[in-house]
Amino acid sequence: MKLVIDTNVIVSGFLWKGIPSRILDLIKANSWQLCLTPKLLEETERVLHYERLLIPLFLSGKSTNEIIESLEQTGVVLPDCRGLKIIKEDPTDNIILGAGLSHNVDYIISGDKHLLKLKSFQDVLIVSPRQFLNVIKR
């Protein structure tokens, strides 16, 4: 199975216990392919520097660099899909759609309302972390 995980889910998965961290564990345990792009990694690094995340990041015992390196070791990094402008309200969401498109993934996992509203994009299902767990339980 090939997946793109939105930045919000990646960050939550590394900093807190819960469904996003379970998904990251399942990716490793099942040898699913985590699909990444340079822009997705840049966005993740940028978000990890938010002031409100400094304490959770410290408490996680991981540095931003360690998280990015872990993603690079777990996932496959391929070139970005350029010029995609589907979501105008939040252009950074197009990074996630582009990653899904360029990798031809099965699922985009996101907590973002703009992405979830689409439900699918060019045969890629867009689901919340909870929806994804429900799908794989079947």
Give yes or no for residue 82 having a pLDDT over 80. Answer: no
Predicted local confidence at residue 89, as pLDDT: 87
Give the pLDDT band (50/70/90) at residue 14. very high
Domains belonging to the chain, first-starting first, are 2-137 (3.40.50.1010)
Q: Which residue, 105, 85, 106, 104, is CA-closest to 95?
A: 85
Give yes or no for residue 67 having a pLDDT over 80. Answer: yes
Predicted local confidence at residue 47, as pLDDT: 97
Predicted local confidence at residue 6, as pLDDT: 96
Which 8-state DSSP code applies to residue 110? -
